[in-house]
Amino acid sequence: MRIKICGLSRPCDIGFVNEAKPDWCGFIINFPRSRRNVSLEQVRELSKKLDPSVVPVGVFVDQPVEFAAAALNRKFIRIAQLHGHEDSSYISALRSLAPGCPVWKAFRVRTAEDLEQAAACSADLVLLDNGYGTGECFNWSLLDSFPRPYLLAGGLTLENIPDAAAQLHPYGIDISSGVETDGFKDRDKILAAVAAARKDSLIP
């Protein structure tokens, strides 16, 4: 099972993921409401130190499409993850402005109707979340017949990653607060989370 460690903001965070080597790492860009917020200039500096095997993902919330495209085209990030009200027109425009760069879209899951919207989304991959940094799981039973690959997020911890893998078989998981201590990324938790996800590596 693949894994993304999200919400990196410090040089030491980069050191932690370089050691753990998750599939992706995430930067929350230009979103001051998040305590993990970083500027594009910070992403530029942090990504310089990133191991080439770890793919940097930019997390955007209702940013102008030109802003997200610029980050992709300058190679600070290689994937755009959209967490706001971005629709199919936005996704299409971003693909035109940053050709060849994957676009992911996050959905807050409360009902089966939320999952219907996610299933129909034109993004390359969808992320199914409880909310924005709530640290809680949504009702996983809603996913019984979800028809496309997805990243699972929201409330994931070292304790429930094995359950998520066994019950849901997601394409991957996205974890942030679950690998933190006192609001900061924790090296040992990151290493343990990646190890837990990799135990499930036989799942396609």
Quote the pLDDT of residue 102.
98
pLDDT of residue 204: 39
Computed over every residue of the chain, the mean pLDDT equals 94
Ranking 133-142, 182-191, 195-204 by mean pLDDT, the lowest is: 195-204
Please tell me the predicted confidence (pLDDT) of residue 132.
54
Distance of CA 119 to the CA centre of its chain: 17
pLDDT for res 176 = 94
Give the integer Cα–Cα distance in Å for 182 and 163. Answer: 25
Burial, 123: exposed, middle or buried (Cβ in 10 Å; 0-12, 13-18, 19+)? buried
Tell me the per-residue pLDDT of 113-137, one tens digit each, with 9 for 90 and over. Answer: 999 999 999 999 999 998 755 567 8
Q: What's residue 130's pLDDT?
A: 87
Measured between alpha carbons, how far is 142 from 97 in angstroms, rounded to an integer? 35
pTM to 2 decimal places: 0.94
Which residues, at least 6 apart from 105, have a Cβ–Cβ distance to it below 8 Å? 81, 82, 86, 91, 118, 121, 123, 125, 126, 127
Find the mean pLDDT for residues 131-156. Answer: 87
Percent of the chain with pLDDT over 90: 91
Percentage of residues of the chain with pLDDT beyond 70: 96
Q: What is the mean pLDDT of residues 76-85?
A: 97
Distance of CA 24 to the CA centre of its chain: 8
- The answer to whether the beta carbons of residues 80 and 63 sit under 8 Å apart is no
| Confidence (pLDDT) at 193 | 96
pLDDT at residue 202 in the model: 39
The angle, 0 to 180 degrees and rounded to 10, between the axes of the packed helices 11-20 and 187-198 is 30
**Residue ranges of the alpha helices (H) in the chain?**
11-20, 40-48, 65-73, 88-97, 112-120, 161-168, 187-198
Q: Is 187 helix (H, G, I), strand (E, B) or coil?
A: helix
The pLDDT tens digits for 8-56 are: 999 999 999 999 999 999 999 999 999 999 999 999 999 999 999 999 9
All structural domains of the chain, each given as residue ranges with its CATH number in brackets, are: 2-198 (3.20.20.70)
